Amino acid sequence: MLNGKQVLVVEDDAVTAVVLQGMLLKLGAAAAVRQDTDSAWEALGAQRFDLVFLDLCLGDGDGETLLRRLRAGTGAAAPDARTPVVVITGRHDLDSRVRLLDAGADQFVRKPFDLRELQGLASAVLRRRALAGPQRQLALDPVQCACHFRGRLVVLTRSEFDILLCLARSWPQAVPAEGLLKDAGEGTPRVTALHVHIHHLRQKLDAGAIETVPAGGYRLADGQLADSGEPQRLAA
């Protein structure tokens, strides 16, 4: 279940981190290790992870705070708020376990732990996510010009929002460059300007969210919208 997965280990104890990384590599996963909350947050914002192992006691802060920040999903550069998290904790009391679940932990394991237990919990979390099926990626509100992607608010310029809305309304069909520029109010088609807008959208959403069509246009990639193919209106 972990083969080919991207996993982030947030652990400040070097020995534990090496053991976890070794286990993940043996199972075929790509494992990145961060030892503090700041570097972990940067890593989460820089790439998409399939799973996070999070120790609660970190040198520069509390792992629970990082978990709540992740689940909040606020800010233009916020990571995917739905990223599965398995918490590693030395706390054994019921109140702590309930608080961790309330903070958004998918599962937790208490220290000292057995690697087989950790592997089983991780596989179970990923299996539940897979059975839940794909979740809606993109939500657009044309009235407020608001965009949410993978549960986080994304700040767009008006031209970027108009281009994305046009792509969403045209999905699964591609839209020629001239049509996108006109819809974005750019007037006379300027291909260079469109390339810049698309580049910024890919940076703010995901590199694969918008596909380039060989004939000279763009389309929203499959799986970005709800099943209806219509831009999902955000609740007020």
Instruction: Kindly report, residue by residue over 31-65, the tens digit of the pLDDT.
Output: 999 999 999 999 998 888 989 999 988 877 788 89
Are both 65 and 142 inside the same structural domain?
A: no
Are both 56 and 15 inside the same structural domain?
A: yes
Are both 117 and 185 inside the same structural domain?
A: no
Residue 231 forms part of a structural domain: no
For residue 164, is pLDDT > 50? Answer: yes
Which three-class secondary structure string do you get for the chain? CCCCCEEEEECCCHHHHHHHHHHHHHCCCEEEEECCHHHHHHHHHHCCCCEEEEECEECCEEHHHHHHHHHHCCCCCCCCCCCCEEEEECCCCHHHHHHHHHHCCCEEEECCCCHHHHHHHHHHHHHHHHHHCCCCCEEEECCCCEEEECCEEECCCHHHHHHHHHHHHHCCCCEEHHHHHHHCCCCCCCHHHHHHHHHHHHHHCCCCCEEEECCCEEEECCCCCCCCCCCECCCC
Confidence of residue 217 (pLDDT cuts 50, 70, 90): confident
Query: 97-101, 105-109, 153-157, 178-182 — which one is most confidently predicted on average?
Result: 153-157
Are both 116 and 214 inside the same structural domain?
A: no
Are both 128 and 144 inside the same structural domain?
A: no
Domain at 70, CATH number:
3.40.50.2300
Give the whole-angstrom CA distance, residue 74 versus residue 204.
13
Instruction: Kindly report, residue by residue over 190-204, the tens digit of the pLDDT.
Output: 667 888 899 999 888
Give the whole-angstrom CA distance, residue 92 versus residue 146.
42
Instruction: Kindly report, residue by residue over 135-145, the tens digit of the pLDDT.
Output: 457 888 888 88
Instruction: Kindly report, residue by residue over 83-118, the tens digit of the pLDDT.
Output: 889 998 877 777 777 788 778 888 888 887 788 888
Q: Using the 3D structure, point to which of 107, 132, 157 is the last residue of a domain.
A: 132
Q: Using the 3D structure, point to which of 132, 167, 187 is the last residue of a domain.
A: 132
Q: Using the 3D structure, point to which of 132, 154, 174 is the last residue of a domain.
A: 132
**195's tokens:** 């390339």
Q: Percent of the chain scored above 90 by pLDDT?
A: 18
Are both 102 and 42 inside the same structural domain?
A: yes
Residue 233 forms part of a structural domain: no
Residue 153 forms part of a structural domain: yes
Domain extent, residue 177, equals 138-220
Residue 232 forms part of a structural domain: no
Q: How far is CA 1 from CA 30, 41, 130, 190, 224, in A?
A: 13, 25, 10, 47, 24
For residue 167, is pLDDT > 80? Answer: yes
Are both 73 and 157 inside the same structural domain?
A: no
Are both 155 and 128 inside the same structural domain?
A: no
Are both 215 and 160 inside the same structural domain?
A: yes
Domains identified in the chain, total number: 2
Are both 110 and 161 inside the same structural domain?
A: no
Are both 99 and 144 inside the same structural domain?
A: no
